[in-house]
Each structure stands twice: as C-alpha cells, then as structure tokens.
Homo-oligomer: A and B are copies of this chain.
C-alpha cells in the first residue's frame, strides 16, 4: 500500500510549519507532479496525522478582526521518525494498472482512424507532461522554488547538493518516462500507417 500522501505531507512540513492551505499550494507545485491529491483530501489527511500525533496544530487568527481562523501544522518528533522510517522502508511496487495500455491492446475493435486518435491523444498528453517536468527540473537545478529554498535554509550546507540532486534526478526520470511514452505513441502511429497500407508488416 503506497500511502504516499501521508508521507509527502510530513516531508513538506519538515521544511517548516504551514497552514493547510499553504501546504496544499506548495503540494500542487511540487509533490503533485508525482502524487496528485485534491485539497479536500489534504485537509482530511492533516487531521488524521494530527490525531496520530505525527503533527501538531496551532490555531491562528486570520486578519485583524479574528472572525476567521486558520490552523498551522508543525511536524513532531514522532512525525520526523515516521518520515525516516518510510524512507528506509522498501515498498512492494503497486500492481500495474494503465488504462491507455489496456486500450492499446484492443485497438482492433475500432477503425484505424480511431486508433490514431487514441495514440495522438497519448502523445499530446505526454508532450505536455514532458514540458512541465523539464521546466521543473530547471527550477530545481537553479534552486528557484520557494519550498526548496526553505528546505536548504534549514539544512547544513554540505547536504544541499544531495537534497537538490535527488529531486533533479527524480524529475529527470519523469522526463525520460514521458519521452518513452511519446516514442511509443509514434511507433504506434507508424504501425497503423503500415497496417492501413495493407503492405508488409516488418517485425
């Protein structure tokens, strides 16, 4: 069982206390690239972490009138311990489940045009992802993201290279992955051309 949301939130809070809303914003600009979650789920998970003692919350006033409040969350000792345990733990990779590939297997139930539409959508999707990942890699490598700066500010200088390098490596992996998908879709489009020409089908 992944349960990555829980641990991603702990990791974000390790950089310093944040309110649920702030956390959700930071989440969208970092972890969400690898683990998407709705804001509503983040609020729910924060409450769960709180009742498990992994984070503590302070209620703060919003604005002058103090008619509204917000809650700032801080990582506890036991939350940090859990974060470290999680990094050590080798998880069973989740079972494969990719609807695009299921469909790719059964494209013969549609026309060649329909098959092309599917593969073009696949390519377009991963082209957009690739571009976003590449941008993020650049930002990370230049240490330009708010969250990363906060992390680095609170860590000893000799650890900075590793902190940045791990993140850059992960996002470069996503770029490579997106490229693989784009190439796959393109080979598929070429295959359809050959099938439609009814000509030879090279191995």
Residues of chain A having any CB pair with chain B under 8 Å: 2-4, 7-8, 11, 14, 31, 33-36, 83-84, 86-88, 90-91, 93-110, 114-115, 117-118, 121-122, 125, 129, 141, 159, 161-163, 165-167, 169-170, 172-174, 176-177, 180-181, 183-184, 187-188, 191, 195, 201, 203
Contact = CB atoms under 8 A, between A and B. Distances in A.
Contact of A177 (B125, B163, B180): B180
Contact of A35 (B4, B35, B96, B163): B96
A178 B119 CA distance: 20
B34 A101 contact: yes
Report how many copies the assembly holds: 2
A188 B172 CA distance: 10
Contacts of A176: 180, 183-184
B105 A167 contact: yes
A102 B169 contact: no
A163 B177 CA distance: 26
A2 B100 CA distance: 9
Given A35-B102, A87-B110, A104-B173, A165 B191 contact: yes
A36 B115 CA distance: 23
A104 B166 contact: yes
Contacts of A129: 96
Contacts of A100: 91, 93
Contact of A195 (B90, B104, B162, B184): B162
Given A34-B96, A165-B201, A191-B169, A87 B102 contact: no
Question: 6 tightest CB-CB pairs across the interface, nearest first?
Answer: A36-B95, A2-B99, A87-B110, A173-B184, A104-B170, A34-B101
B2 A163 contact: no
A9 to B, nearest CB: 11
Contacts of A115: 166
**Which of A8, A90, A122 has the most chain B CB within a 10 Å cutoff?**
A90
